[in-house]
Amino acid sequence: MKAPHQESVLSRAARILEAFSQDEPVLTVSQIARRTGLHVATASRLVGELVAHGFLGRDDDRRVRIGVRLWELAVRASPALSLREAAMPFMEGVHDVVGHHVQLGVLDGDEVLFLERLSVPNAVINYTRIAGRLPLYASSSGLVLLAHGPADLKERLLAGSLTAYTPATPATHTRLRAVLAEVRRQGYAYCPGYVHEEALGVAAPVRGAQGEVVAALSVIVPDEPGAQAVVPVVGTAARGLSRALGAPTSTGSSPLAQ
């Protein structure tokens, strides 16, 4: 790792952009300096340059937020945008049936990143947000992506410590291995109370043109009797989206269709 005085301007700018979160989308320059470890004068100068380019913006109180220009560049040619656009008709169809949360997640590092989410007022509790993240081992989308992900990713997670959100979370290595094997065997993840005791997550794999798993389509519904009925709904939509993405028909079949 470079010493602070050797760090490139681009690396410092990246740290400034990463200082913002969904919970704190607006920061002062002093807060940015503390979070990035930059001197206040350095942070102020770089923030000014980022504002000049439209990557950051200022409000009337001189506080700083992510700029519209950065969003524009991010979505202009993003593969995630085309995946989201292809998924929306299928997500809307599922949402009409389940009436709670419908989500599209992709693998990003050791987490699932949610590209889109449909919901309604008074739906069951759900910690997911658009551009939000959850651990792979705790969420239905994450378990689908982990089950079909690289072997080194599985082993890395299994070698580390796992936090239990509820008593049902597969937070031991033995339990997680068993859950991943079940996801691969049955073709979907069924996760009652894994993140919140009142919520049930169901997710199915979305495949790309080479048959590879590129995303997970999931629903979050109340964990109550009869919830199993959403499984074929999710599976049908995931297979339809996979076909829309050009997936071979043979890889689109799963026990969900039974």
CATH classification at residue 182: 3.30.450.40
Q: In the chain, how many H helices and how many E strands?
A: 10, 9
Q: Domain boundary residue among 73, 89, 115?
A: 73
Q: Are residues 35 and 110 in the same domain?
A: no
Q: Are residues 206 and 117 in the same domain?
A: yes
pLDDT at 2 (0 to 100): 46
- CA separation for the pair 90, 180 (Å, rounded): 25
Residue position matching structure tokens 């940015």: 32
Find the domain containing 18 and state its range.
4-73
State the average pLDDT over residues 64-79. 79
pLDDT at 73 (0 to 100): 79
Q: Are residues 112 and 222 in the same domain?
A: yes
pLDDT at 124 (0 to 100): 75
Residue 198 phi/psi, 5° resolution?
A: -90, -5
Q: Are residues 163 and 237 in the same domain?
A: yes
Q: What is the mean pLDDT of the chain?
A: 89
Q: Domain boundary residue among 38, 73, 108?
A: 73
DSSP class per residue in 12-53: HHHHHHHT--SS--EE-HHHHHHHHT--HHHHHHHHHHHHHT
Question: In Å, what is the CA distance from 209 to each residue of 53, 62, 113, 173?
Answer: 37, 47, 21, 33
- CA separation for the pair 20, 11 (Å, rounded): 15
Residue position matching structure tokens 């551009």: 131
Q: What is the pLDDT of residues 119-140, one digit of tens each?
A: 888 777 766 676 688 999 999 9
Q: Are residues 62 and 25 in the same domain?
A: yes
Residue 157 CB contacts under 8 Å (≥ 6 apart), including other chains: 110, 136, 137, 146, 176
- List strand residue ranges (DSSP E) for the chain, in order: 26-27, 56-58, 64-66, 101-108, 111-118, 133-135, 189-192, 199-207, 213-222
Q: Are residues 100 and 42 in the same domain?
A: no
State the average pLDDT over residues 232-246. 96
Number of domains forming the structure of the chain: 2
Q: Examine the pLDDT at 48 and tell me if it is beyond 90.
A: yes
Question: Rounded to an integer, what is the distance from CA 28 to the centroid of its chain?
Answer: 27
Q: What is the pLDDT of residues 75-88, one digit of tens each?
A: 665 667 789 899 99
Structural contact between residues 195 and 189, judged by C-beta atoms closer than 8 angstroms: no
Burial of 104 (0-12, 13-18, 19+ CB in 10 A): buried
Q: Are residues 87 and 116 in the same domain?
A: yes
User: Pick the residue with more confidence: 76 or 171?
Assistant: 171
Torsion over CA of 245, 155, 157 and 82, rounded to 10 degrees? -10
**Which DSSP symbol is given to 226?**
T
